[in-house]
Amino acid sequence: MPATDPAAFAPALGAHRAPRTAVACTHCALEVPGGLVEPGAAHQFCCTGCRAAYEILHEHGLDQYYGFGERREASVTPSGRTYEEFDHEAFQKLYVRGLPDGRAQVDLYLEGIHCASCVWLVERVPLLLPGVARADLEIRRSLARVEWDPTAVPLSRVARMLDSLGYPPHPFRGVQRDAVRRREDRAMLVRIGVSGAIAGNIMLAAFALYAGWGGGMEHRWELFFRWVSLLLVTPALVWPGRIFFAGAWAALRTRTLHMDVPVALGLAVGYAQGAVNTIRDSGPIYFDGLALLIFLLLVGRYLQQRGQRAAADGAELLYSLTPSAARVVDADGGARMVPAEALLPGMDVDVHPGETLPADGVVTAGQSQLDTSLLTGESHPVSAGAGTEVFAGTVNLSSPIRVRVQRAGESSRVARLLQQVEESGRRRAPVVETANRMAAYFVAVVLALAVITFVIWEIRDPARAVDNAIALLIVTCPCALALSTPLAVSMAIGRAARAGIFIKGGDALETLARPGRMVLDKTGTVTTGRTALVQWEGPDWVRPLVLALEADSAHPVAAGFRAAWPRLAVPPARDSAHAMGGGISGFVNDRAVVVGAPAFVRARARRGAMVPANVAPGLTPVLVAVDGEIVAGAGLGDPVRPEAAAAVADLRRRGWDVTLLSGDAPAVVDAVGRALALPAGACTGGASPEDKLRVIEEARRRSPRPVVMVGDGVNDAAAIAAASVGVGVHGGAEACLATADIYLTNPGLGPLVELVDGAERTMRVIRRNLLFSLLYNVVGASAAMAGALNPLVAALLMPASSLTVVVSSWRARTFRGGAA
Amino acid sequence: MSVIYIVVPLALLVVAAAVAAFVWAANRGQFDDLDTPAVRMLHDDEEHRPLPRPPEPPAGAA
């Protein structure tokens, strides 16, 4: 899986790292490395990518770019890909739309979009290619919509152009949903606009009426304004207000009670009574309150929808980053790139080191090691040679292999796993929000009170009985009650997003506020998910020799060494040879160097003066021999994140029952569990994705308390979907992003604590809001029962309660991390 | 005061026109992306591209 960079979808947060000491790159303004400075040259470049980008711009007279104050400070590193799969039939069918005038249109997700000058580059430069008609960038989501003439220029050419500027393009995999959402958003906006305009104008009429109420107003004017109000409120009810009636109807049909039910009841009764009173020419009309109520409720709903939308967008964009191409080998031996969607069983595919397998199949040539952690959670690489069955989604680590495709696309193991994920997601019963749970009692109480009011007044003063009962129904229309949850939740979701926590559904927050069982995946969640050098015993002079051999190996051990010593100068190595499952040997500075597994190295060297101590359990041991003598030993492993222990302790203090569930070897899982000070029974290793799903489902059956699954891989996805709340963590696989209710963009478990903390605070705000709105309703209901409710009091009570809730939600500090 | 009988309906007509304009703008996608145009205008010094929004792709055409 590609490393997922949070900055990729938070362009405004681009880090400014520029140690500008010596010479600055003309294109990106970063420091030019010493070896690349050209004395006397007017323009200096930190890399060939920047030079190429500069040449494109300069050649076409676009030097204006360099005049912009805010520029992307990141060197351009073109991927060198040909993007030929972009021209393939299957790709075009999936992502490209034909326009009526013969042009084609595609939505591309660009990496590296960061600031204003990116907009300028992306919208100008592709137009230099003949045949490209337009390129529009949406900066918030880094989406570029390109229109071009397919007969004049292939899409791959456009893609290469964007790539050479440092914006590698990916097809946007959410076009269908995007169009649906856009329609929904627009419809919601229109409803808000219409109801807002109506509410404002009814208020004007209402002011005239209230002003004339005390001071004497000619009856014909009063009549006129009452009719104007009726005329205005009618469209507000039948157009924007219709969604409440639709919601209430749907709830009644499924025999559940939703907040829409009391709202629709209040609206309907208020409107009917107001209309009757207008025609009768006596008694209160409630139109101003009703119109305002519709408007406020719609705004609350829109805010909530937008917050959840933004979170879902973030996950979808990450999904677009997954590799989409496979290298198919034709009968004549030539290789070509095709989209993964076009693979068929029986095809031969070449997979280079560092690439992800595009389909399930059998290795026909080559020997390599595969990282299967995506599927199994196993942190150690697995060997694969001719005849080995391999699966889509695993990563080839060390050398090229050829795979005969057996199952591609929907029938691959990953895809089947994902189908399971979808199913368990569908089976999940929706969490009923607190406000909706209250709606049931609320309707019952209000109706009972209305009956009581009617009976009492029927005895005391029958003429006023109907009026007072109806006034009670109207004044208790639960505007503030219906607003309280969406407002508090949408504010919390917005604040959380700024803190790097994407919450896709408000009900997740309510669930998280009650402690339950929290199941953590190990690889990538509690640990860093990357092999790192944990233990090193040996002299310093050996280090450059090790790095020289490991310089261009995709093996995790090599990556671990490189990450541990990033600043060492690396001498060139020659005659280096990779031995499968063993290690690497070669010559550096004319010395024979062997790095690898103990058995491999001991077979090629004698024990020297230096005898490395045993490495800790759970680590991969590596020995280094120089000129036939063992000189150093190292232990590499997947280290526990530094803040994990403190975070777990914090969660347990809050009452959460924290457990580890991993596909990795039980010994490794237990070691991690000890590092986190978890009780002995809390760690389970060797769990397949199916096992994980079973564990979560059983935990949910056994206890009504919430079960939270935190994970990062496809192997966790089914469990995440089945949990009460699924949390995906930084760098996770796209399947995990798609099913998780919450996605944490910052690495580690610290954000998890913040999430639980924020959820608790949000629940407190919701409860406070509910209390306020109930208080207002008690006041209103008492006044109505006493027969003391006049239209002015009703008109003041309704907006005042809503405003209290708005202010209370606005001021609440739910998530703190939003410093950006 | 009888002028109210004319002025109020007139005002309501103006409101109707404003609402119609808003609905038209929303449906044409004027409020879809509120970030990029603000940035784009910074660079449109010497060259203007008064292009209309592209037509919405027909549903299911992708």
A632 and A645 housed in the same domain? no
A520 and A580 housed in the same domain? no
Residues of B in contact with A100 (CB under 8 A): 55
Residues of A in contact with B15 (CB under 8 A): 197, 201
How far apart CA A623 and CA A41 sit, in angstroms, is: 47
Residues of B in contact with A122 (CB under 8 A): none
Reference A492, options A141, A185, A763, A747; nearest CA is A763
Whether pLDDT at A271 is above 50: yes
ipTM: 0.74
Please report, for the domain that includes residue A546, its CATH number: 3.40.1110.10
Q: Is residue A59 part of a domain?
A: yes
Question: Between B1, B8, B19, which is nearest A194 by CB?
Answer: B19
Q: Is residue A272 part of a domain?
A: no
How far apart CA A463 and CA A109 sit, in angstroms, is: 68
- Over residues A599-623, the pLDDT tens digits come to 888 888 777 655 556 666 667 788 8
- Pair type for strands A325-329 and A348-351: antiparallel
A606 and A652 housed in the same domain? no
Among A574, A603, A637, the domain boundary falls at: A637
Q: How many domains does chain A have?
A: 3
In terms of Cβ atoms closer than 10 Å to its own Cβ (0-12, 13-18, 19+), residue A211 is exposed
A630 and A647 housed in the same domain? no
Task: Say how many CA atoms lie within 13 Å of A593 toward its Cβ.
Answer: 26
A52 and A129 housed in the same domain? yes
| Concatenated DSSP letters of A692-711 | HHHHHHHHHHH-SS-EEEEE
Q: What pLDDT shows up at residue B49?
A: 46
Reference A518, options A703, A670, A376; nearest CA is A703
How far apart CA A796 and CA A789 sit, in angstroms, is: 11
Average pLDDT, chain A: 80
Whether pLDDT at A12 is above 70: no
Residues of A in contact with B33 (CB under 8 A): 138, 140
Q: Is residue A192 part of a domain?
A: no
Please report, for the domain that includes residue A723, its CATH number: 3.40.50.1000
Contact of A672 with A527, CB cutoff 8 Å:
yes
Whether pLDDT at A379 is above 70: no
In this structure, how many other beta carbons lie within 10 angstroms of the beta carbon of residue A154? 17
From chain A, which residues contact B within 8 Å (Cβ)? 68, 94-100, 105, 116-117, 119-120, 123, 134, 136-140, 145, 147, 175-176, 179-180, 182, 185-186, 189-190, 193-194, 197, 201, 218, 221, 224, 228, 231-232
Reference A159, options A117, A109, A115, A124; nearest CA is A109
Q: Higher-confidence residue: A259 or A771?
A: A771
A633 and A680 housed in the same domain? no
Among A693, A714, A740, the domain boundary falls at: A740
Q: What pLDDT shows up at residue A202?
A: 92
Terminal alpha carbon distance of chain B: 60
Contacts of A783 by beta carbon, 8 Å cutoff, 6+ apart? A475, A789, A793
Percent pLDDT > 90 in chain A is: 11
Q: What pLDDT shows up at residue A518?
A: 92
Contact of A72 with A28, CB cutoff 8 Å:
yes
Q: What pLDDT shows up at residue A191?
A: 94
Put simply, the answer to whether B55 touches A194 (Cβ < 8 Å) is no
Contact of A357 with A396, CB cutoff 8 Å:
yes
Residues of A in contact with B30 (CB under 8 A): none
Terminal alpha carbon distance of chain A: 28
How far apart CA A34 and CA A38 sit, in angstroms, is: 9
Please report, for the domain that includes residue A78, its CATH number: 3.30.70.100
- Over residues A720-733, the pLDDT tens digits come to 888 888 898 876 66
- Pair type for strands A517-520 and A382-384: unpaired
Q: What pLDDT shows up at residue A165?
A: 81
A536 and A551 housed in the same domain? yes
Q: Sorting pLDDT into bands at 50, 70 and 90, what band is A69? A: low
How far apart CA A820 and CA A714 sit, in angstroms, is: 31
Put simply, the answer to whether B36 touches A119 (Cβ < 8 Å) is yes
A155 and A13 housed in the same domain? yes
A666 and A625 housed in the same domain? no
Q: Is residue A700 part of a domain?
A: yes
- Pair type for strands A591-596 and A707-711: unpaired
Q: Higher-confidence residue: A680 or A454?
A: A454
Q: What pLDDT shows up at residue A376?
A: 64
Among A715, A740, A765, the domain boundary falls at: A740
- Over residues A213-244, the pLDDT tens digits come to 776 778 888 899 999 999 999 999 999 999 99
Provide the shortest C-alpha distance from residue B33 to chain A (in Å). Answer: 7
> What own/partner pairs with CB < 8 Å and gap ≥ 24 does A350-353 have?
A350/A400, A350/A401, A350/A402, A350/A403, A351/A327, A351/A396, A351/A400, A351/A401, A351/A402, A351/A403, A352/A327, A352/A396, A352/A400, A353/A396, A353/A397, A353/A398, A353/A399, A353/A400, A353/A553, A353/A554
Contacts of A137 by beta carbon, 8 Å cutoff, 6+ apart? A110, A113, A118, A119, A122, A123, A143, A144, B36
Containing structural domain, residue A80: 6-173
Question: Between A105, A190, A197, which is nearest B54 by CB?
Answer: A105
Put simply, the answer to whether B18 touches A197 (Cβ < 8 Å) is yes
Whether pLDDT at B62 is above 50: no
Provide the shortest C-alpha distance from residue A73 to chain B (in Å). Answer: 18
A718 and A620 housed in the same domain? no
In terms of Cβ atoms closer than 10 Å to its own Cβ (0-12, 13-18, 19+), residue A336 is middle
How far apart CA A12 and CA A17 sit, in angstroms, is: 14
A41 and A109 housed in the same domain? yes
Q: Is residue A465 part of a domain?
A: no
From chain B, which residues contact A within 8 Å (Cβ)? 1, 4-5, 8, 11-12, 15, 18-19, 22-23, 26-27, 29, 31-33, 35-36, 39-40, 42-43, 51, 54-57, 59-62
Residues of A in contact with B40 (CB under 8 A): 119-120, 123
Q: Is residue A812 part of a domain?
A: no
Residues of A in contact with B5 (CB under 8 A): 224
Put simply, the answer to whether A193 touches B19 (Cβ < 8 Å) is yes
A512 and A654 housed in the same domain? yes
User: What is the three-class DSSP state of A436?
Assistant: helix
How far apart CA A638 and CA A129 sit, in angstroms, is: 47
Structure tokens at B34: 């509120």
Q: What is the DSSP letter of A13?
A: G
The residue type found at A652 is R
How far apart CA A658 and CA A651 sit, in angstroms, is: 7
- Over residues A630-648, the pLDDT tens digits come to 888 888 888 888 888 899 9
Q: What pLDDT shows up at residue A17?
A: 40
